[in-house]
Structure 1
Amino acid sequence: MSGHHYVPRVVVVTGASGGIGRATARMLGGRGYQVALLARGETGLSGAAQDVEAAGGTALPIATDTADHRGVEAAADRIEAELGPIDVWVNVAFTSVFARFDDIEPEEYRRVTDVTYHGYVNGTRAALARMRPRNHGVIVQVGSALGHRGIPLQTAYCGAKHAIEGFHEALRTELMHEDSNIKVTIVEMPAVNTPQFSWVLSRLPQKAQPVPPIYQPEVAARGVLKAIDHPQRRARWVGLSTAGTILANRVAGGLLDRYLAHTGFSSQQTDQPRDTDQPSNLWEPVDGSDGRDFGAHGAFDERSHGAGWIG
């Protein structure tokens, strides 16, 4: 199953209604693939389905909360019944809370972990169960530089992303042990201009923002497609900032602690006060509340790079 000879037909994308998942789904549609779209928000899902079809693919949108393993299994059954065998599963869905650790409630912490970490476990389990009998397939975990380096105001998200790293390495070794043809790979992302900064629960005084340099979701999506094409690589890094963060933390973690203690609070907030009635997607999807489809891009287009290094 070396990269170029393996042409997937059916690809599943979780978190497909916005951000990286949305951009990835659109690019997969451009290749003519059949793309199953999993997310909670119906408005974003139907927008994503239109994107995929307009690009030349076939779309199957299924409203799913990835934290619910039974719901994920049911979605996988439906995908195989309607589109055929799943060739590739891409885990993207997440949620977060922007706040100091003391300001995050236990139920909120659990919810972030259930979506951001257990959602990947549930998706991976559903994919593997169906790929194993055929002994082929690719599972892509969309990771983050924050899975290697924690930053302030994001303890719940950083903890969940770190968990994905350990899970990925352990599972990869199990599959290698049995000489499986199923490939698991992870794509580590930089700061990306996604709608999360408009819909993630925030208790910060100012509006939340990604820490520059900020990349457009299409750059992240190109990293995902590269991982699908060459899944034998254990990991890919998108953006030089990702490489810099991961490497710096390996050699000078204490220095980075002090740097982030000094800069991490201000660099994640704009100079605008946070909108007190900003919606939050932690428990319910926010798209469609006013008929709105957030799409792939967040509010930082003018500050985001449309190109970036992919390692």
Structure 2
Amino acid sequence: MPARRNFLRVALTLCVTLAGAAAPAVGAEPAAAKAADVEVRYKTAKVGDLDIFYREAGPQDAPAILLLHGFPTSSQMFRNLIPALGDKYRVIAPDYPGYGHSSMPSHEKFKYTFDNLANVIDEFTAQVGLTKYALYVQDYGAPIGYRLASKHPERISAIVVQNGNAYEEGIDNDFWKPVKEYWAAPESKEKRDALRALLTYDATKWQYTEGAKDLELVSPDGAAEDQFLLDRPGNDEIQLDMFLSYGSNPPLYPGWQEYFRKHQPPMLIAWGKNDKIFPAAGAEPYKRDLKTLEFHLLDAGHFALETNGDEIAALMREFLGKHVGSK
């Protein structure tokens, strides 16, 4: 009997120890939601004559996050991030006009500029009831998001920047040379046509794979879907108009930087340091203007979510938990 009691005592101690090791600390925030536990909805809002497609997840009364995509993609770039945040946040990711599953009027009927796209997304936020929200900006999402933030600083609770530029240092590289030549000669068909190479599948795939730490982590589905939509008749002219309109952004950089200095939005930078389009040189200047800044250079390329999605989601949950709260 003593041997049996001793065995039971040891077994009970082992069970208690294992249970304590497996249990999370009281109040601990999980690194990310289980995707299976988060329902993502695919919806459309009417903005004027445009149908704006968007993905949404999370409680309606939770703090909101507006995810703004880049080129040449759409809200599909957030397909894994949305369920990773949707347990604690109301997450909304729209497609701009001409992108993804939103309306695509011809460039003769709709002026494809960053000003216009920002106006559409501004109206979209009103349609879906966003009065206070955190921004996630990447690539084209940055000049669109910073237009919104500068216009409505009271609405912005925090900003997450993933390879989104607001400084001259971020576009002082070889990638931008032919684009800048087009800005300098907007009437030149030769300069415009020279940029068509950026609309090919090889170029789209390059954006996903260049600088990625492990190509086996990059799903081919992202580039394939993007290219399918780029190849729609007339979309090439839309994209070329947007390349030209990007030249409207650098003159606004000083105003955006003043917004950072004056309003000091809490900012998380999670930047793919191997990006050949927006290199890490564009991330560093944010340190000059932001006091509440968490800064991370990731071993990733332009589409860092493809390879470092779990890492970015964990950084966001910790950062937003401190500065925005959660459901």
The TM-score by the shorter chain falls in which range? 0.3 to 0.5
TM-score, length of structure 1 as denominator length: 0.37
Question: Which entry has the higher C-alpha Rg, 1 or 2?
Answer: 2
